[in-house]
């Protein structure tokens, strides 16, 4: 139904406007009492899907990736579609508008999306206020720096977000891999990244009970850079990696707007993200957990990432193109694998 009737209509309109319209519609339908109906249609209740990771119990291994619910406005409603966990953000210390519009583009021929949103969000304090009412949704907090903050001061921004969110999220994700904030990816270099993660770990270890910290990396890293990531994870003792963020590669695209600047997600990223997962898993000797994300548009795509070494998977663009039924298909495929 979604792909046949709903998606063709939604895809007639501007992608960002449709995003906000969809949020409003889901919120209204939930207020009308349709949450239980959504759960009955899309949620797979089976204890065999549970995953113990980072000291947390994930109801199932299929999560919603960061970027969809940036400001924690809809995490409760979205959980009704069967997600095992929701990652909010990327949030920054101060609210920011992000990059000028138009900044979100569908690549229909390629089943992809290019975005150059630029960490548009209402700031970490607003997100915290919304998360205070959370009772049972497992939440990841994806944190970043404000655009106006120079890289040499970036650590402070991450610490601010970490401290503000600490009591309200189950795990953290350090985002230094978005291509849409100038010079942000330079923080993936070994020295600044090690400093950043060590600082966060110091804050973390000072808590009564620490929270898992993961690093989200770009798919555009070379093998040498990926080996650096493995070393950094070991040196800083963070809990895992999310592979991968969006790509700046445009090879093989057919859509008219393929030359738009920004990060590319969706099917064009499927193979590369799986390659990165397999590389990290094999070269590290499965030394740390990996959450696999990038181009999951089918149950088979998800299974391939799990087979490559991922412990959990996340959806974003696949959720938009395939609809909420994809979550159920993946969970059923995992049970039948």
pLDDT digits (tens, 9 = 90+) for 269-320: 999 999 999 999 999 999 999 999 999 999 999 999 999 999 999 999 999 9
3-class secondary-structure state, position 218: coil
pLDDT of residue 100: 97
- Positions marked catalytic: 178
pLDDT digits (tens, 9 = 90+) for 180-205: 998 999 999 999 999 999 999 999 99
**Residue ranges in the chain whose pLDDT is less than 70:** none
Q: Residue 223 corresponds to which tokens in the numbers above?
A: 């093998």
* Helix 124-131, helix 154-165: angle, nearest 10: 20
- Supply the pTM of this predicted model: 0.97
Q: In whole angstroms, what is the distance from residue 182 CA to residue 113 CA?
A: 20
Q: Residue 168 corresponds to which tokens in the numbers above?
A: 């309200």
Q: Residue 295 corresponds to which tokens in the numbers above?
A: 């181009």
In sequence order, what DSSP letters do the residues of 231-294 get, joined into one string?
HHHHHHT--EEEE---B---TT--STTTT-SSEEEEGGGHHHHHHHHHHHHHHHTS-S-EEEES
Q: What is the CATH number of domain 2-336?
A: 3.20.20.70
pLDDT of residue 51: 98
The residue ranges of DSSP E strands in the chain, in sequence order, are: 51-53, 56-58, 62-64, 85-91, 104-107, 112-115, 139-143, 171-175, 213-217, 240-243, 263-266, 290-293, 312-315
Contact status, residue 161 vs residue 143, Cβ threshold 8 Å: yes
Q: In whole angstroms, what is the distance from residue 294 CA to residue 244 CA?
A: 6
Domain ranges of the chain: 2-336
Q: In whole angstroms, what is the distance from residue 337 CA to residue 71 CA?
A: 35
Contact status, residue 292 vs residue 214, Cβ threshold 8 Å: no
Contact status, residue 11 vs residue 332, Cβ threshold 8 Å: no
| C-alpha torsion angle, residues 122, 127, 130, 136 (rounded to 10) | 150
pLDDT of residue 1: 87
pLDDT of residue 277: 98
Q: Residue 105 corresponds to which tokens in the numbers above?
A: 């583009």
């Amino acid at each position: 139904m979604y792909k046949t009737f709903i998606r063709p209509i939604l895809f007639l309109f501007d992608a960002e406007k449709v995003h906000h319209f969809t949020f409003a519609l889901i919120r209204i339908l939930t207020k009308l009492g349709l949450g239980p109906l959504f759960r009955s249609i899309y949620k797979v209740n089976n204890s065999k899907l549970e995953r113990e990771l980072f000291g947390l119990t994930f109801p199932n291994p299929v999560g919603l990736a960061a970027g969809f619910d940036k400001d924690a406005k809809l995490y409760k409603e979205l959980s009704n579609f069967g997600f095992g966990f929701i990652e909010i953000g990327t949030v920054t210390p101060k609210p920011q508008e992000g990059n000028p519009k138009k900044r979100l583009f569908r690549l229909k021929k390629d089943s992809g999306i290019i975005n150059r949103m630029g960490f548009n969000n209402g700031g970490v304090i607003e997100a915290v206020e919304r998360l205070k009412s959370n009772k049972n949704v497992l939440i990841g907090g994806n944190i970043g720096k404000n655009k106006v903050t120079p890289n040499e001061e970036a650590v402070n921004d991450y610490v601010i977000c970490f401290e503000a969110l600490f009591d309200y999220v189950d795990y953290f994700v350090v985002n230094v891999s978005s291509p849409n904030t100038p010079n942000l990816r330079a923080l993936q270099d070994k020295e600044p990244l090690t400093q950043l993660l060590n600082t966060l770990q110091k804050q973390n270890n000072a808590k009564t009970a620490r929270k898992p910290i993961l690093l989200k990396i770009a798919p555009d890293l070379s093998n040498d850079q990926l080996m650096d990531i493995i070393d950094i994870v070991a040196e800083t003792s963070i809990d895992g990696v999310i592979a991968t963020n969006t790509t700046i590669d445009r090879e093989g695209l057919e859509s008219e707007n393929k030359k738009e600047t920004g990060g590319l997600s969706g099917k064009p990223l499927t193979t590369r993200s799986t390659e990165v997962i397999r590389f990290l898993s094999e070269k590290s000797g499965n030394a740390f957990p990996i959450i696999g994300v990038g181009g999951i548009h089918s149950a088979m795509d998800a299974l391939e990432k799990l087979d490559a070494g991922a412990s959990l998977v996340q959806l974003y663009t696949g959720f938009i193109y395939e609809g909420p039924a994809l979550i159920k298909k993946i969970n059923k495929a995992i049970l039948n694998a």
